[in-house]
Amino acid sequence: MGREAPPENGNNGRADGAAAISFKRVRKTFPRGEGRIEALKGISIEIRKGRVTGLVGPDGAGKTTLMRLSVCLLEPDEGALTVMGMDAAEDPLAIQSAVRYMPQQFGLYEDLSVQENLDLYADLQGVLPADRKERYAELTRMTRLGEFTDRLAGRLSGGMKQKLGLACTLVRPPELLILDEPTVGVDPVSRRELWNIVSRLVEEEGMSVLLSTAYLDEAEKCDEVILLHEGEVLGQGPPGDFTREQKGRAYWVKPPAEKKRDIQWRLSRRDGVVDAVIQGDGVRVVMGHDDGPDKEDLLPEENDLDFEPVDARFEDSYVALLQSRQEANAKDMAAEATPGKDDGAGRKTGESPGDSPGDSPIDVENVRRRFGDFYAVKDVSFSVGHGEVFGLLGANGAGKTTTFRMLCGLLPASGGKLRVAGLDLRRAAAKARARIGYMSQKFSLYGNLSVVENLNFFSSAYNLKGKRRQDRIEWALEGFDLKDRADAASGLLPLGYKQRLALACALMHEPEILFLDEPTSGVDPMARREFWDVINALSGSGVTVLVTTHFMEEAEYCDRLAIMAAGEILALGAPAEIKARAGKSEDEPAASMEEAFIALIESSSAARD
Amino acid sequence: MLHRIIALTIKEILSLLKDKKSRFTIVVPPIVQLLVFGYAATYDLNDVPFAVYDEDRSVASRDLAAGFTGSPHFTLTHRITHQAEIADLIDRKAVLLAIHIGPDFSRDLLTGGGAQLQVIVDGRNSNTAMIALNYVREIVNRFNQAWLVKTGGREPPARLNIRAWYNANLESRWYIVPGIAGLLTLVVAMLVTALSVAREREQGTFDQLLVTPLRPVEILVGKALPGFMIGMAEATLIILIAVFWFEVPLRGSLAALYIGLFLFLMSGIGVGLMISSLSVTQQQGLLGAFLFLVPAVILSGFTTPIANMPAIVQKLTLLNPMRYFMVVLRGVFLEKAPWSLMISQYWPMALIGLATLTAAAWLFRHRIN
Amino acid sequence: MKQQSAPGGFRRLRGLIRKEFYQIVRDPSAIAIAFLMPVGLLILFGYGVSLDAKHVPIAIVVETPDAATADLTRSFERTEYFEPVRMADMSAAVDALTYHRVDAIVHLRGNFARRLHEEKGAPIGVVINGVDANTARLISGYMEGVWLNWLGDRARSEGTQLLTPVDLRQRIWFNAEVRSRNFLVPGLIAVIMTLIGALLTAMVMAREWERGTMEALLVTPATMGEIILGKLIPYFILGMGGMALSVAMALWVFDVPLRGSLWMLTGTSALFLLAALGMGLLISIVAKNQFIAGQIAIVVTFLPAFLLSGFLFDIGSMPVVVQYITHIVAARYFVAILQSVFLAGDIGSVILPNAAALVLLAAVFLGLSRKKARKRLE
């Protein structure tokens, strides 16, 4: 008879620091085509009790495999693995009753209400009816789902779904909690709440937590971080240990707003620079050496710019560690993806939009969309200029995707005017659609077709023929580094590669206007950098880009952006303008886009209440 | 336009046939089912078990019983000696029928007729019962004729001279096997099409298609062509098996058959694609496929004649493409039917096909989600 | 498995069942499958499927009309089995037969009246469209009936008796009026319930895999047995509801007699439903995705139940190999049971072996499901 109830929090055995999870030379392979690929190459790790341990690494590093092994959903090929002192090979059910696991896409029953989902998991986890009331009260207080208990889970926003998933996972407090990318696709407000919950669990209930994340600022909040890469452990330790190595290598440059992206592009291409990303109003540069930046060498034409030293952060060491591993094709990708652009310079900034709306590539006027008696989008207006990168930001369910679908002609608007390249795509001739490229939120290529077969199909669907078609397919394989995986089934690619392929398919026909719906959701930081390099380069060559994102730091890459909530635009303008508006006073703009976003959302929901 | 359609068709075929389970499901079961059903689906009775209760035990009664034991349709399994045994044997389905020859049988026969032969049949399946009784009647008639000739009695003033055209030996296999060919063709068409749009909608790839310059007509053709190709190929194989394995005669022209097959596939694929574009989920698609397939089979005249149905149901069958194809199949295989009969089957199928295909193409873009 | 604790297991099971019920209630398609489908299909087929040919259109060609031919023609007109149309000559009649306007031709030659008095008698020429062999055989049986009646009438009017050495007295037990509906409706119930059982469950496991909910279930302490039972019980209850509805319709809409007992009907239906649901579950577990589960369900449920169950075609007359194959079709046993329970009564010697076979099939399907569904992702 095993444990029906895990020992509750009273026992302080965790304080001794014994391992919550221990892997000893664990190897795991999966069949792929003829052979097998190694997902974990004999790794040994110990994850300590009473801590938050973060698991980071690029796609396909083996993070999910490691987690699934820990909850006995998979069996290792070799090696020994114990969880909470129990042997995974011998006692899987005992482990499963002591450990809670929240998969990447948590299995909420969307046709059940919040309460019914909680009841189900309470039954499954063996929570006695007498204990439930108290537990539910605690969970709903923690997740602030109290007022939604009767709502169907399918009707919740993405952030609320994740919180409900977490609540279901926690109906009986476990000793060890394993979360697979709990914050993917979740807006900043909900992300913050999720993190508060996790830290409370560790501090107050003494739970051990293992979570994987693609957000490196989250990794920084962990007690300990494990960096995985291609099935091997690259490093393990407190995030501070990682950053220490990068100390004194990070700098911040603040160019004029309109040159921000250009400077970032050029810096990222210089020798000795490990990383250059847009951060706030400036560019953050990480050098590969301790000698400090040589202005003459890095930015010969912009002598007036200062390199201001800043504190190192976990992301710096992550990029540094991985870049030494992966031969950096990232930089080449953007260059190759946009032929005719040898250097990142010369990006045309969009003519100021709004002056002559008829000419704008994208023009939205008072657009509404109703589903039943619910308005998903109400009276939204904006326009996007040529070559502009326009961002749509918003919490889940804010109406971004609906707006996108209307623009692409997939959904009729209930009212208002939509113009894309001067046409209403819902009514325009099929040919007009050749002028746009569309990449949808979730991976939507043919999963059982190979990479090449998908490219073949989409190139023909976009009217490419003969030599040009061959050239473009070749371009996609080369430019997006898909050559080695050309014959792999696209559904089995790691997420980052799927996104590359999806982008390649959307760009086959060199569209004038590109729609990207959360293109970087769940993608690891390295892949995200590559992605934005490509977008930058495209916009430099005159392509108009409309993009939605959850990553607030990515919002800084946009020329202008609109923040949406509950179907309305709360703020519209350049990133700096928005931060200024969201600030506490005229002189004190919001410190970051994330803060601006949270402030705007909270003030709007306060206004609604 | 053409190269776009070709690309779409290639993609469809790849996504259908790349998966091992899916490839197997589309190709193997129809062929296996033709073989199994071809043998199974026959109204002819063979070796029906029967019991004899002969109280007379005379030469005449043994002669009569010999008529039964000699027939390929019947097998004598029980000789019984008590009336009560009959009920027991029939109740537990040990025999389908019992013949009871009374003690006065030969006496009555010799004294001028009216000798009684009682036959008790299990009517639980009344169709089987009626068929068995027909065989019994044939045997008794033959005995009567022979008896009259032997005893020099006068034959009846008129006799029936029944001939069956097109299927002289009334083999039900000749009737059923072409029907199965139609049935399986329809099943394959539904397998290929009924879930295809719904699957793309669920996986989000349909949106991706709709934002390309592909026109609804092109998507329609691209989705329909693999169904045509697979359907045509399998139908051809099935027809070959019908002709060379089951030895059903093929008397009419192949052209007539293939025109019919083309139009039938068109209507079947049209219905499949329409169901598929109406459904949001694959589950709905599957349900829709069943809701069409089951009535389409039962109300096609495949196993039970349309003429036996009530008038209102007969009207309903006019919407069923399979009903027309059944006539074409049997017309070509057995009857060598004239073109005008064929044409009156062709145009309704073409109409159904055009209507459903148009509806499907319209629904691609206009389905309210 | 050693972790199993009865109260915990019971609570988990109850939770799973409750969840499934909520889902059923929220998504009306399952209810539609369980209740609307049997009603709709039974009405359609109960009326639509009939083997009783009546009012068969036939052509009558009389080359020289006279009293004798008029007499015979009247005999054809009097019976409800035929709908005779007089035609001027054979070529018109053959035309009508070719174009399916008539199913048979009765041809009386010019010398019919004269040859009635000859030694060998006068021939009545009959041509039947033999394509549909079953109907053709029925028609020829009806023809003989009309002919014998006519002979009898003729003999009586001449004051003699028709000489038939052996007089066939037939008795059809259990279905004396030979209503084909009486055996078709119970058979249809078996076919329809096969469809419903498979449809209800074929998608459910595959759906959980596709939506990612299975992964969440797998890491809970629920055992695979509980997960499967949690699926089975709600759909079983739903299926029994559909079954009850079908039986009620058989009794009160189609007037099929119920000679056996209700409890026997209920018990055997439960067994059958277990087998049908088990097959659906197995499909769902093996396929793991709805597309393939759907394809398999289409292929393996309807046609085998329709053609191999003995509902229309006599299993005993099939080749031995095919007879073996029919043993894996659950509907086969249920058809036999239903036809007996409805028309004959609770006949142990028919019901017991068939019920035992159903138990075995249900055990095999459910056992395989249990075995194939592992609590691992691979």
- pLDDT of amino acid A342: 38
List the single residue in A with minimal CA-CA distance to C7.
A126
Q: Integer distance in angstroms from the first to the last C-alpha of chain B?
A: 29
> 3-state DSSP call for residue A519?
coil
A461 with B205: Cβ contact below 8 A: no
- Which residue in A333, A406, A353 sits closest to A376, CA to CA? A406
- pLDDT of amino acid A55: 92
Indicate if the pLDDT at residue C362 is higher than 90.
yes
Work out the angle between the directed axes of helices C290-297 and B20-40 (0-180°, nearest 10). 10
> 3-state DSSP call for residue B292?
helix
Q: Chain A partners of B361 at a C-beta cutoff of 8 Å? A: none
Q: What digits encode the pLDDT tens for the residues C319-341? A: 888 899 999 999 999 999 998 89
- Average model confidence (pLDDT) for chain C? 86
Q: What are phi and psi for residue A229, nearest 5 degrees?
A: -150, 120
Q: What digits encode the pLDDT tens for the residues A5-20? A: 344 343 333 334 478 8
- Count Cβ atoms within 10 A of the Cβ of residue A236 and give its class: 0-12 exposed, 13-18 middle, 19 or more buried: middle
Share of chain C above pLDDT 90, in %: 27
- ipTM exceeding 0.90? no
Q: What digits encode the pLDDT tens for the residues B347-369? A: 999 999 999 999 999 988 776 55
Would you call C261 an interface residue with chain B, using a CB distance cutoff of 8 Å?
no
Asked if the A357-608 domain carries CATH number 3.40.1160.10, the reply is no
Alpha-carbon gap, residue C62 to B155, rounded angstroms: 23
A107 with C22: Cβ contact below 8 A: no
Of the candidates C2, C19, C376, which has its C-beta nearest A112's C-beta?
C19
Alpha-carbon gap, residue A54 to A281, rounded angstroms: 29
- Average model confidence (pLDDT) for chain A? 81
Tokens of B363: 């629904």
CATH 3.30.70 boundaries in chain A: 245-325
**Amino acid in the structure at residue B344:** S
Q: What digits encode the pLDDT tens for the residues C238-258? A: 899 999 999 999 999 988 999
CATH 3.40.1710.10 boundaries in chain C: 56-157
- Count Cβ atoms within 10 A of the Cβ of residue B20 and give its class: 0-12 exposed, 13-18 middle, 19 or more buried: exposed
Q: Among C5, C21, C204, C215, which would you mutate to test the A interface (most chain A Cβ atoms within 10 Å of its Cβ)?
A: C215
Q: Among A123, A150, A155, which would you mutate to test the C interface (most chain C Cβ atoms within 10 Å of its Cβ)?
A: A123
- pLDDT of amino acid A373: 78
- pLDDT of amino acid C47: 81
Question: How many C-beta atoms surround the C-beta of residue A597 within 10 A?
Answer: 28
Q: Chain B partners of A434 at a C-beta cutoff of 8 Å? A: 212-213
Residue owning tokens 């609109």? A562
Phi-psi domain of C318 (left: phi exceeds 0; alpha: psi -120 through 50; beta: other): beta
Q: Which are the contacts of B113, defined by CB distance < 8 A and separation ≥ 6?
A: C161, C163, C164, C165, C167
Q: Where are the beta strands (DSSP E) in A421-529?
A: 436-439, 513-517
Indicate if the pLDDT at residue A113 is higher than 50.
yes
Task: Compute the count of residue pairs across chains A and C with CB atoms less than 8 Å apart.
Answer: 104
Q: What are phi and psi for residue A171, nearest 5 degrees?
A: -55, -35
Listing DSSP states for C79-95 in one string gives: STTEEEEEESSHHHHHH
B207 with A440: Cβ contact below 8 A: yes
Alpha-carbon gap, residue C185 to C46, rounded angstroms: 6
More confident position, A37 or B350: B350
CATH 3.40.50.300 boundaries in chain A: 13-237, 357-608
Neighbours of chain C (3+ CB pairs under 8 A): A, B
- Count Cβ atoms within 10 A of the Cβ of residue C41 and give its class: 0-12 exposed, 13-18 middle, 19 or more buried: buried
- Which residue in A107, A41, A43, A101 sits closest to A68, CA to CA? A101
Asked if the A245-325 domain carries CATH number 3.30.70, the reply is yes
- pLDDT of amino acid B26: 81
- pLDDT of amino acid B261: 95
- pLDDT of amino acid A332: 52
Q: Among B165, B191, B246, which would you mutate to test the C interface (most chain C Cβ atoms within 10 Å of its Cβ)?
A: B165
Q: What digits encode the pLDDT tens for the residues A198-235? A: 888 888 888 899 999 888 888 888 999 999 988 889 88
- pLDDT of amino acid C299: 80
Tokens of B241: 């098996």
- pLDDT of amino acid A522: 72
Indicate if the pLDDT at residue A4 is higher than 50.
no
- Count Cβ atoms within 10 A of the Cβ of residue A271 and give its class: 0-12 exposed, 13-18 middle, 19 or more buried: exposed
Q: How many residues does the structure list for chain B?
A: 369
Q: What digits encode the pLDDT tens for the residues A486-510? A: 888 888 787 778 888 999 999 888 8
Q: Residue A352 in contact with residue A318, Cβ under 8 Å?
A: no
Q: According to the 3-state scheme, what is the secondary structure of B201-231?
A: HHHCHHHHHHCCCCCHHHHHHHHHHHHHHHH
Tell me the residues of chain B between 44 and 103 that have a Cβ less than 8 Å away from chain C: 44-49, 64, 90-93, 96
- pLDDT of amino acid A31: 80
Alpha-carbon gap, residue B167 to C11, rounded angstroms: 65
Indicate if the pLDDT at residue C265 is higher than 90.
yes
Indicate if the pLDDT at residue A586 is higher than 70.
no
- pLDDT of amino acid B368: 52
Q: What is the pLDDT confidence band of residue C5, given thresholds at 50, 70 and 90?
A: very low
- Which residue in A1, A69, A84 sits closest to A39, CA to CA? A69
Tokens of A510: 């060199």
Indicate if the pLDDT at residue A306 is higher than 50.
yes
Q: What digits encode the pLDDT tens for the residues A409-430? A: 888 888 888 888 888 777 777 7
Q: What digits encode the pLDDT tens for the residues A442-451? A: 777 888 888 9
- Count Cβ atoms within 10 A of the Cβ of residue A116 and give its class: 0-12 exposed, 13-18 middle, 19 or more buried: buried
Q: Domains of chain B, with CATH numbers?
A: 2-41+171-366 (no CATH), 48-151 (3.40.1710.10)
Query: Beta strands A208-212 and A232-237: pairing type?
Result: unpaired
- pLDDT of amino acid B258: 95
- Which residue in C328, C331, C325 sits closest to C311, CA to CA? C331
List the single residue in C with minimal CA-CA distance to A105.
C212
Q: Chain B partners of C130 at a C-beta cutoff of 8 Å? A: 164-168, 170
- Which residue in C244, C264, C253, C242 sits closest to C195, CA to CA? C242
- Which residue in A549, A569, A570, A571 sits closest to A558, CA to CA? A549
Q: Chain A partners of B3 at a C-beta cutoff of 8 Å? A: 460, 465
Tokens of A545: 């880009």
Q: Which are the contacts of B326, defined by CB distance < 8 A and separation ≥ 6?
A: B179, B182, B300, B301, B302
Indicate if the pLDDT at residue A2 is higher than 70.
no
Q: How far is C333 from chain A (nearest CA, A)?
A: 37
Indicate if the pLDDT at residue A345 is higher than 70.
no
More confident position, A8 or A137: A137
Half-sphere exposure of A329 (CA within 13 A, CB side): 11
Q: How far is CA C273 from CA C128, C236, C262, C280, in A?
A: 43, 7, 16, 10
Q: How far is A229 from chain B (nearest CA, A)?
A: 30
Q: Largest Cα–Cα distance of chain B, in whole Å?
A: 93
CATH architecture, range C56-157: 3-Layer(aba) Sandwich (3.40)
Indicate if the pLDDT at residue A552 is higher than 90.
no
Q: Chain C partners of A168 at a C-beta cutoff of 8 Å? A: 216
- Count Cβ atoms within 10 A of the Cβ of residue A289 and give its class: 0-12 exposed, 13-18 middle, 19 or more buried: exposed
Q: What are phi and psi for residue B112, nearest 5 degrees?
A: 110, 25
Listing DSSP states for C192-205 in one string gives: HHHHHHHHHHHTHH
Q: Which are the contacts of A179, defined by CB distance < 8 A and separation ≥ 6?
A: A101, A102, A166, A169, A198, A209, A210, A211, A212
Alpha-carbon gap, residue A133 to A122, rounded angstroms: 11
- pLDDT of amino acid A347: 40
Rg (CA), chain A: 25
Q: Which are the contacts of C198, defined by CB distance < 8 A and separation ≥ 6?
A: C276, C277, C279, C280, C283, C297, C300, C301
Q: How far is CA C43 from CA A482, B126, B294, B321, C39, in A?
A: 58, 20, 13, 21, 6
Q: What is the pLDDT along chain B (369 residues), one digit of tens a residue?
A: 788 888 888 888 888 888 787 788 788 888 888 888 888 888 888 888 999 999 999 988 898 999 999 988 899 999 999 888 998 898 888 899 999 998 988 888 888 767 889 999 988 887 888 888 888 988 988 888 888 888 776 677 777 788 888 888 888 888 888 998 898 899 888 888 888 888 888 888 888 888 888 888 888 999 999 999 999 999 999 999 999 999 999 999 999 999 999 999 999 999 999 999 988 877 788 888 888 988 898 889 888 888 888 888 889 999 999 999 999 999 999 888 889 899 999 999 999 999 999 999 998 877 655
Q: What is the pLDDT confidence band of residue A348, given thresholds at 50, 70 and 90?
A: very low
Indicate if the pLDDT at residue A357 is higher than 70.
no
Residue owning tokens 């499927």? C49
Min mean pLDDT across A425-439, B207-221, C51-65, C127-141 is at: A425-439
Would you call C256 an interface residue with chain B, using a CB distance cutoff of 8 Å?
no
DSSP letter assigned to residue A185? T
Question: Region A143-149: what's the mean pLDDT?
Answer: 83
- pLDDT of amino acid C263: 92
Alpha-carbon gap, residue C349 to C351, rounded angstroms: 6
Q: What is the pLDDT confidence band of residue A334, given thresholds at 50, 70 and 90?
A: low
Neighbours of chain A (3+ CB pairs under 8 A): B, C
- pLDDT of amino acid C273: 93
- pLDDT of amino acid A528: 83
Of the candidates B21, B123, B141, which has its C-beta nearest C292's C-beta?
B21
Asked if the A13-237 domain carries CATH number 3.40.50.300, the reply is yes
C144 with B159: Cβ contact below 8 A: no
Q: Residue C126 in contact with residue C84, Cβ under 8 Å?
A: no
Question: How many C-beta atoms surround the C-beta of residue B267 within 10 A?
Answer: 26
Q: How far is B204 from chain A (nearest CA, A)?
A: 5
Q: Which are the contacts of C264, defined by CB distance < 8 A and separation ≥ 6?
A: C341, C346, C351
- pLDDT of amino acid C4: 43
Q: Chain B partners of C157 at a C-beta cutoff of 8 Å? A: none
